[in-house]
Structures are given as C-alpha cells and as structure tokens.
Structure 1
Amino acid sequence: MRSIQDAFFNWLSIREVAIARPDDVAAKDTEQLFLSILQDQYGVGDVQVEKEDEFVFVSYEQSGEKKQMKLPKDYVESMIDQMNRDPEKYK
C-alpha cells in the first residue's frame, strides 16, 4: 500500500462488501487481509468505524497515539454500489 489512507480505503471498501454479503468467503478473507496490512505494516490497532450521512470516520490507534481519518462515504461504498448495480458480474 502506498499510504495508510489507501490501506484504510481498501479495507473499508471490502468491509462494506463483507457486511452486505455475509456468505461471501472471499470478501471476508480479503477484508481480513487488508486489516492485517493495517495492523502489520502501519501498526494500527483499536479501529472504530462510524458512518454518517456523507463521511465515514475511522478512529484508530497508531504508535500509542489516537488518530482519526475521514473518508467520503460514496467513495468507500463505491465497490458495493457497483456490485449492486451489476450483480451478474459479481456472483
């Protein structure tokens, strides 16, 4: 991952898919992979996610410091939105 923001975006995007498709083992495995990258490569822990109207707020701890990131909700949900628009492509 180029940046922690990219890693969070990837994790949050596939997390949305895993939540929407609880029987999708690949989505759950990929979500876990991206969470592992956040933990192992960036030292992230104690992650909390809160969705509001326009943004997704992520609170986390890194190197003993509490931090927060804000990402556009439509950006985070773009993968699951695309899957819902074209379900025949994502069986």
Structure 2
Amino acid sequence: MQLKDALFNWLQIQVVWDKRPSDRSAKETVHFFEEMLREDHQVTIVEKKAEGDNYLITYEQAGEPSQIAFPRDQADKLLNDIINEPKYNQSFGD
C-alpha cells in the first residue's frame, strides 16, 4: 500500500475512533494501520488536526518530519456512512 493511501486509511478510521472511543473494532483498526505505517513506511504519526476544510497530519518518516493534508469531507465519509447505516449505528457511549 502506498504511503498516502495508508495515511488516509489511518485518518478515516482515527476519525471514527475519535467519535466512537468505545468502538473496539475502530481502535483495533487504528492500531493495525499504525503498525503498517511503522513497519512498511517507517512512519510515526505525530499529530492530526482539523484545519479549515482539511485534516493536517504531521508525521515523521525515518526521522524526517513531514506533513500531508486530506479534505475533511473525504476523511469524514467513513464515519458518516457508519452513522447513517442502522446496523452499524449502535450506541458506543458517545
């Protein structure tokens, strides 16, 4: 998986976990992508923040700092799809 795709996938599921902190599947998937980023790309996430219409991810790759931005509407799509699907829209204490 390309670095940009792995970062975007991590971001999407991190957004879900942020809104649904007791969602065990989201937590496990976040950890899966973090492990993939570390092992396959030598990347550690430093920070994720909303900035205007984007999410800005600050990360280090092999010790070098870098940033990438993704549109918020695209990154929030997974969360919105989960919220709008009754079979997945269970109460997670949110």
TM-score by length of 2: 0.87
For 1:8-53, what per-residue CA distance to the aligned partner results, in whole angstroms no more than 9, with x for missing partners? 1111111111111111111100110011111111001252111122
Mapping for residues 77-88 of structure 1, pairs under 5 Å: 77-86=76-85, 88=86
CA distance in structure 2 between the aligned counterparts of 1:23 and 1:46, rounded to whole angstroms: 21
Q: Name the counterpart of 1:39.
A: 38
Identity %: 34
Mapping for residues 61-80 of structure 1, pairs under 5 Å: 61-80=60-79
CA distance in structure 1 between the aligned counterparts of 2:21 and 2:30, rounded to whole angstroms: 12
Structure 1 residue runs of 4 or more that deviate by more than 4 Å after TM superposition? none
* Higher relative contact order structure (alpha carbons within 8 Å, sequence separation ≥ 6): 2
Select which of 72, 87, 90 maps to 1:89: 87
1:12 aligns with 2:15: no
Gaps of 5+ in 2: none
TM-score by length of 1: 0.89
Larger helix percent? 1
Residue identity opposite 2:10 in structure 1 = W
